[in-house]
Amino acid sequence: MKRKQFPSEVVEEAQLAWMLGHRQAKSPMEKAISKNKSQEARALAAETENDETELLHKRSSRIRFDFNGQILAEENADISKSIGLHHHGDEPEKPGYTIPELLHLSRSTVPSQRAAAMSTLGCIIHNINVGAWDLADTVVVYTGLLDWQSELYFAEGIADTNKTGRAQATVALWTWVVEMARYKSLVRLSVDGYAETSSNTLPGAEIPLLPEPVTAKGVLVERTFKAFDAMLDSKLMDTIYDNVHLSLLPDQQLTMLADCIKSFMDISQEFDERIKTHAKLLVLLQNKYPYRMSKQ
């Protein structure tokens, strides 16, 4: 009433709180719950910050890469700035990009930076697949990608508003989901004597890597399954459907998306059933790419 009859007067909300309806005024219990939620949110934020700080101290978060996804050795610290590998990161005096820096850059407001970041991440996974480094370095790098939940950034990249960014994210996703299986990278990382072993029998502890019936086992395989599980949601499938249905990418990248879906279906029965519930995507891919979606 005071607002209506005396609009120029200042409303003292605190003194009028008792007049508010039950949906607006907070009871002592509601205030306590609200306070508790705020405390929980602050605690969670602090825990997340501590986790990220711990991750940043890992070697996998300090390895630097060039734009071809190759590891830059420490002796390359004096590389010319004209190459373009210096930037305004945590250590601007050092050339190259770390995994967390690349993931951060993949969310840049500048389209060319997002595309460059996704391209480099895809190159890193390709180098893992072709065995560009010794086993110890390979395990460290791949563990870093999993630690920083790279799968979430890859999924976002497929929905990039910029066509080049979408294309680079598609290639990166294909390199992880399809090429890694073809090179049997996880088999190599799991059975060459260096990778961790696990007795855990959760779904995804074993992933059949095609085209040969070879099975990789262990912690890295289980973590890869969990990463794919987090990535393969309805939002990603809707995005892939839109890209293919509307031809938002060049033909090469569109076929890569089809390959990714087929590879997901081959990885596990759970993924296969999940994709089949997204009928319009499956029908679209089967009609447009019958050979790719049927081959074993």
Q: How far is CA 111 from CA 20, 108, 156, 163, in A?
A: 49, 7, 13, 9
d(CA 256, CA 172): 10
Of 191-195, 230-234, 244-248, which gets the smallest average pLDDT?
191-195
- Does residue 21 lie within any of the structural domains? yes
CA angle 26, 30, 33 (to 5 degrees): 145
Residue 199, pLDDT above cutoff 50: no
- Closest CA relative to residue 241, chosen from 267, 275, 291: 275
Sequence-distant (6+) residues with CB within 8 A of 68 are: 120, 123
Residue 219, pLDDT above cutoff 90: no
Give residue 99's region: left, alpha or beta (phi > 0; psi -120 to 50).
alpha
Give per-residue pLDDT as tens, 173-189. Answer: 999 999 999 999 998 88
- Does residue 117 lie within any of the structural domains? yes
Give residue 217's region: left, alpha or beta (phi > 0; psi -120 to 50).
beta
Give per-residue pLDDT as tens, 256-292. Answer: 999 999 999 999 999 999 999 999 999 999 999 999 9
- Does residue 253 lie within any of the structural domains? yes
- Does residue 44 lie within any of the structural domains? no
- Does residue 48 lie within any of the structural domains? no
- Does residue 37 lie within any of the structural domains? no
CA angle 289, 290, 296 (to 5 degrees): 110
- Does residue 261 lie within any of the structural domains? yes
Task: Give the pLDDT of residue 52.
Answer: 73
Residue 244, pLDDT above cutoff 90: yes
Q: State the average pLDDT for the chain.
A: 81
Query: How many domains does the structure of the chain reveal?
Result: 1
Q: Name the strand (E) or helix (H) holding 207.
A: strand 206-209
Residue 253, pLDDT above cutoff 90: yes
- Does residue 78 lie within any of the structural domains? yes
Task: Give the pLDDT of residue 197.
Answer: 44
Q: Which domain holds residue 139?
A: 3-32+59-294
Task: Give the pLDDT of residue 19.
Answer: 45
Q: pTM to 2 decimals?
A: 0.75
